[in-house]
Amino acid sequence: MSNYLITGGQKLKGILTTNTSKNAAVVLLFAALLNKGKTTLLNMPKIEEVSRIIEVLQSLGVEVKWRGQNRLSLQPPKKINLSKINYESAIKTRSVLFLLGTIIHWQKDFFAPQPGGCRLGKRTVKPHLYALENFGVKIKALRKHYRVQAKNLHPAGNIVLYESGDTVTENAMLAAARIPGQTVIKYASANYQVQDLCFFLQKLGVKINGVGTTTLEITGKKNINKNVSFYLSEDPIEAMLYLAIAATTNSGLLIKRCPVRFLELELLKLEKMGFKYKILKHYLAKNGQTELVDIQTYPGQLVALEEKIDARPYPGINIDNLPFFAPIATQAKGQTLIFDWVYENRAVYYTELNKLGAKVELADIHRAYITGKTLLRGNEIICPPALRPATIILVAMLAAKGKSILRNVYSIERGYEDLCGRLAKVGAKIKKID
């Protein structure tokens, strides 16, 4: 496990460029299994989560090659045998759930590993099972695996999702994509990674109506065999990380390539807290679809909002962006209530900021009161086993006076490429140590 040594309290200055999305990358890697031809994914982030999935795909016989900077090609084999799956890599990521929606197009009866990933309390997989049963898929949960039978696949007609989750929406889309006929997915997520998957499937020839809405109409295509290249879009969660760093350290940063349509409410909340910023220009991502902007931030004085801050499905505050308001709130005058209603126990991780001098009080497992403005001081903390809670500690350490050590940063490196090196280029005193 690597560690970060941070000397905080520095004013940061310079340019940070938003990388492409972990959450889009993981589903697109599995979506390549729908295509018998070669899939080339461009702007693929080189992160630990991607590495684990590549290990899984290679164990299934997929030919995976990095070709140049962040360019990844995938060629599925003629047959896939899950009995040879790299189980150790598979259970380190929740994304292995996408095997349910993809392998049904390869095998009629198989065992798939149960997922790992971030530990955020109880995270039920029932919405996936309920969605896929509409296609004729039977799934039984065993101790370490799922027994999956897909002998009579058919279009699902109308599906009402049990919850408006990103991964459950994507799994239903993966299933529908290769089944001829129409499937209508209602109460779908319209989040950024779902839209990326829509754009990719459309490039494969799958007809999709309703992109960006909560109702998706998908006309599946039985055989897909074409060579395609696809650009991933930029990550609004990484852009929010940089905004949180700017706000918490009170720094002027130029943050490039921010997918603004997935940040609008976050920016409005920050503006009402006194955060100073200016949008410099608008342009499209390389996929020709996602609207990007460059954001210049400025030093200012923050105040707490009277209303609670909580997340909602898009276009609300993104559930992965909500934790970043915790370190920001430590530097805002007054008391902030963050209501993290989706995950049991994620709010508990916010109390780790108290080790740096923050004043975080839990009302219950979903609600945290944060009182600011507080002077943060360096300390040594072990990363929680979850990506965003680990990252907000890093944000606070950048603002904390003195030296800090953040230990076991694998949780962070699951989702961010060379974050340590990129922050150092804008003046952060941060380096990786053993």
pLDDT in tens, the chain (434 residues): 799 999 999 999 999 999 999 999 999 999 999 999 999 999 999 999 999 999 999 999 999 999 988 999 999 999 998 889 999 999 989 899 999 999 999 999 999 998 865 554 555 788 999 999 999 999 998 888 899 999 999 999 999 999 999 999 999 999 999 999 999 999 999 999 999 999 999 999 999 999 999 999 999 999 999 999 999 999 999 999 999 999 999 999 999 999 999 999 999 999 999 999 999 999 999 999 999 999 999 999 999 999 999 999 999 999 999 999 999 999 999 999 999 999 888 999 999 999 999 999 999 999 999 999 999 999 999 999 999 999 999 999 999 999 999 999 999 999 999 999 999 999 999 999 98
Cα-based torsion angle of the residue sequence 38, 40, 45, 49 in order, rounded to the nearest 10 degrees: -10
Residue extents of the structural domains in the chain = 3-17+236-433, 22-231
Give every CB contact of residue 61 below 8 A, 6+ residues apart in sequence.
76, 77, 79, 80, 81, 84
Instruction: Give the pLDDT confidence score for residue 120 in this predicted structure.
Output: 45
Return the exposure string of 23-59: e unless at least 16 CB atoms fall within 10 Å of the residue's CB, then b: bbbbbbbbbbbbbeebbbbbbbbebbbbebbbbbbeb
Number of other CB atoms surrounding residue 167 within 10 Å: 23
The yes-or-no answer to whether 3-17+236-433 and 22-231 have a common fold is yes
Q: 22-231: which CATH architecture?
A: Alpha-beta prism (3.65)
Instruction: Give the pLDDT confidence score for residue 116 in this predicted structure.
Output: 66
Between helix 22-31 and helix 166-177 the angle, nearest 10°, is: 20
Instruction: Give the pLDDT confidence score for residue 94 in this predicted structure.
Output: 87
Check if the beta carbon of residue 252 is closer than 8 Å to that of residue 296: yes
Check if the beta carbon of residue 120 is closer than 8 Å to that of residue 386: yes
Measured distance CA(321)–CA(23) in Å, rounded: 13
3-17+236-433 has CATH 2.40.50.140 classification: no
Measured distance CA(47)–CA(395) in Å, rounded: 19
